[in-house]
């Protein structure tokens, strides 16, 4: 089977979020299972090619968008440590910029054109290479117009090769939909007839994600629970009706994690290594973390950790009001995150007022994230919604028991602790309320007071399998269902 993964970011070349991790890791797992998988992304100015020098494979590609023509070219490297080809669609005018999508917090105004160019160039690249995938796997709004173009563009829809391609569209977060003013229909050279409620029109605007949802042969998102949730108004961000209409074609597949980067038995960021069969190193990591963050050196106190974008999605509006109550308990708290200024200052003030008990580090620090996963006891992730979530998966692997709300990927990866503690891997609450969260915290602290039961739970958590191999097999099943259906 031949699959082309189409993504606006791919680790380690360019990354702003979890999408890049998926786009960098899933193809490796698919390749190991024998697929002819290739990846395509824009050639950004900031791409990290690691010692590779991409070779030009198509020196000229001409893309027409409405009345304008744009030239680009295609170069090729491989995903590090593999023979998986990664194609870069190059166009300096569009991609030689400081950011991927924005600069100084403001989206680039020509984003629709930048990514429509990308989508169309991908189709012409397929023709130019003479390599026709069975399935294109598109991700998020930046690539959503490709399935639309394949089925509606005058030149593409009757092309014998392009016609044979099936499509999968994966939603990584419903909150980012790529909504633009109606005029881009002409600018992008899309068929004007697409400006209707049953296509791209969305309350007077053009919604590119909606196009992906309606024109792709199959849809997926990054956890089974999120796949159900987004069909409800509370989680669907206005597109729940569209998703209900396509419920039969919507699948949820949990993301895997990078087991090489996140392995407590061989993690260069840690003071000591450990595993489920020998947890001694975890105590060393805790002591080292306490020293690094200026927390009191105490082995017996439960250390709560949180690593997060500081965004309302992540549950900060139920956590922050409870900080005074939490800090009255015999616990330590460490938070690593960046985001909303008011959240940052509340956390920094609380840490200042509770020196030795609480630390707040407001920056992006991957090494510290690893040390916190290793040195913590309880991982806090009380998200309002969570398409998949990675940190709870890392924390399970590092024996740092997660406290989570039962939503999205959190519901699918953390098993609630049984009342007698005989099974379960974490502390799960249902209602998005301070009281429900605090009840789960009390449950966590009660278990912490029973070292044997705590340890058994840690071992269960650390033995769970969230490898990409497992998820990649599910994607292959889905690709097999992606045969092109015409409109």
Applying CB under 6 A, which residues contact ligand ADP? 17-18, 307-309, 336-338, 364-366, 369, 388-391
Whole-number minimum distance, CB 275 to ligand ADP, in Å? Answer: 21
Q: How far apart are CA 206 and CA 154, in angstroms?
A: 20
Whole-number minimum distance, CB 354 to ligand ADP, in Å? Answer: 20
Query: Chain-centre distance of CA 20, in angstroms?
Result: 7
Q: Specify the residue, 17 or 99, whose C-beta has the smaller distance to ligand ADP.
A: 17
Q: Specify the residue, 76 or 269, whose C-beta has the smaller distance to ligand ADP.
A: 269
Q: How far apart are CA 422 and CA 416, in angstroms?
A: 11
Q: How far apart are CA 97 and CA 100, in angstroms?
A: 7
Helix/strand/coil percent split, the chain, to 5: 40, 25, 40
Q: Specify the residue, 207 or 391, whose C-beta has the smaller distance to ligand ADP.
A: 391
Of 60, 40, 70, 99, which is closest to residue 188 (Cα–Cα)? 70
Whole-number minimum distance, CB 346 to ligand ADP, in Å? Answer: 16
Whole-number minimum distance, CB 413 to ligand ADP, in Å? Answer: 11
Task: Let me know: does 327 contact 295? Beta carbons within 8 Å.
Answer: no
Q: Specify the residue, 222 or 482, whose C-beta has the smaller distance to ligand ADP.
A: 222
Whole-number minimum distance, CB 42 to ligand ADP, in Å? Answer: 20
Whole-number minimum distance, CB 7 to ligand ADP, in Å? Answer: 14
Q: Where are the beta strands (DSSP E) in 225-344?
A: 250-252, 303-310, 332-339
| Other CB atoms within 10 Å distance of the CB of residue 63 | 21
Q: Specify the residue, 84 or 368, whose C-beta has the smaller distance to ligand ADP.
A: 368
Whole-number minimum distance, CB 129 to ligand ADP, in Å? Answer: 32
Q: Specify the residue, 269 or 298, whose C-beta has the smaller distance to ligand ADP.
A: 269
Phi–psi pair at 52, nearest 5 degrees: -85, 145
Phi–psi pair at 56, nearest 5 degrees: -70, 130
Of 140, 13, 184, which is closest to residue 89 (Cα–Cα)? 13
Q: Specify the residue, 250 or 410, whose C-beta has the smaller distance to ligand ADP.
A: 410
């Amino acid at each position: 089977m031949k699959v082309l993964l189409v993504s606006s970011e791919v680790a380690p070349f360019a990354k702003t979020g979890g999408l890049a991790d998926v786009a960098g890791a899933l193809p490796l797992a698919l390749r190991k299972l024998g697929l002819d998988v290739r990846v395509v992304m824009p050639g950004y100015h900031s791409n990290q090619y690691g010692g590779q020098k991409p070779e030009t494979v198509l020196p000229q590609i001409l893309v027409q968008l409405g009345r304008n023509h744009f030239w680009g070219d295609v170069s090729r490297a491989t995903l590090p440590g593999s023979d998986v080809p990664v194609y870069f669609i190059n166009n300096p005018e569009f991609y030689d910029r400081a950011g991927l999508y924005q600069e100084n917090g403001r989206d680039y105004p020509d984003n629709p054109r930048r990514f429509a160019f990308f989508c169309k160039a991908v189709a012409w690249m397929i023709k130019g290479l003479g390599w026709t995938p069975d399935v294109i796997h598109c991700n998020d709004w930046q690539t959503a117009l490709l399935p639309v173009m394949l089925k509606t563009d005058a030149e593409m829809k009757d092309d014998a090769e392009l016609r044979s391609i099936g499509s999968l569209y994966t939603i990584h977060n419903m909150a980012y939909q790529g909504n633009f003013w109606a005029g881009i229909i002409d600018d992008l050279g899309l068929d004007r007839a697409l400006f209707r409620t049953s296509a791209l029109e969305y309350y007077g605007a053009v919604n590119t994600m909606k196009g992906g949802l309606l024109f792709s042969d199959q849809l997926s998102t990054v956890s089974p629970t999120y796949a159900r949730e987004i069909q409800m108004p509370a989680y669907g961000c206005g597109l729940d009706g569209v998703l209900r209409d396509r419920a039969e074609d919507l699948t949820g597949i949990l993301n895997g994690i990078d087991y090489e980067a996140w392995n407590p038995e061989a993690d260069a960021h840690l003071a000591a290594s450990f595993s489920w069969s020998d947890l001694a190193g975890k105590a060393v990591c805790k002591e080292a973390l306490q020293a690094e963050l200026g927390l009191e050196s105490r082995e017996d106190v439960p250390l709560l950790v949180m690593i997060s974008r500081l965004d309302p999605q992540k549950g900060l509006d139920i956590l922050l009001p409870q900080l005074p109550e939490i800090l009255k308990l015999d616990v330590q708290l460490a938070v690593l995150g960046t985001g909303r200024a008011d959240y940052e200052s509340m956390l920094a003030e609380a840490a200042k007022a509770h020196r030795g008990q609480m630390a707040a580090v407001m920056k992006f620090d991957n090494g510290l994230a690893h040390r916190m996963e290793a040195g913590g006891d309880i991982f806090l992730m009380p998200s309002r919604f969570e398409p998949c979530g990675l940190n709870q998966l890392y924390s399970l692997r590092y024996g740092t028991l997660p406290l989570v709300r039962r939503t999205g990927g959190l519901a699918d990866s953390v098993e609630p602790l049984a009342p007698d503690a005989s099974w379960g891997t974490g502390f799960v609450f249902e209602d998005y309320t301070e009281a429900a969260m605090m009840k789960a915290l009390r449950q966590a602290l009660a278990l912490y007071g029973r070292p044997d039961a705590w340890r058994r739970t840690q071992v269960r958590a650390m033995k769970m399998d969230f490898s990409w191999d497992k998820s990649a097999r599910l994607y292959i099943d889905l690709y097999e269902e992606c045969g092109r259906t015409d409109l």
